[in-house]
Amino acid sequence: MQNLKKITLGAATVLAALAPVDGMVAGGQDASASTQETRLLLAIDERPALQADGSVVLTGTVRCPAGESFLLTANLAQGSEFHGNFIGGTCTGEVQPWSANVAVAGADYRRGDALARAILQPSNDTFDQVETANTVRVR
């Protein structure tokens, strides 16, 4: 698991995993470096929303090299079992939002603490998988 940092993006506080990626620049270029670098970002919002049907919408942000396709796995556990959903997307090179509805067959989530986990995987080998997990408060 990557190093977690608490950051604020707009009005949301998120828990983020950051990792370097060759070939991209974040916020400017270093003229002394022969290869440019950006940071992968994978973040989970700390306050996911409980839906009327008992599911939870996990949200967060992602940043990866522009034009790269990715698969994001979002999981949530209240108790011992994780349940999740997959979403795919294309990276813009900028911070971009993601959202995944997570449901439990035959049961409902409830308000309160839960463990959320997200895994960002490239569709090819342009960057390494990034994972983040932390306790969130379902509202």
**CATH classification for the domain delimited by 4-138, as one of 2.40.170.20, 3.10.150.10, 2.60.40.10, 1.20.1260.10:** 2.60.40.10
Could you identify the residue written with the tokens 């992968």?
A: 40
Work out the burial of residue 27: count CB atoms within 10 Å of its CB; fewer than 13 is exposed, 13-18 middle, 19 or more buried.
exposed
* pLDDT of res. 35: 34
What tens-digit pLDDT sequence spans the chain (139 residues)? 444 444 444 444 444 555 554 433 333 332 333 234 557 899 999 999 999 999 999 999 999 999 999 999 999 999 888 999 999 999 999 999 999 999 988 788 999 999 999 999 998 877 889 999 999 999 9
Which residues contact residue 40 at a Cβ distance below 8 angstroms, ignoring those fewer than 6 apart?
17, 18, 19, 20, 21, 63, 64, 120, 127, 130
How many whole angstroms separate alpha carbon 125 and alpha carbon 139? Answer: 37
* pLDDT of res. 127: 83
What's the pTM?
Answer: 0.73
* pLDDT of res. 31: 30
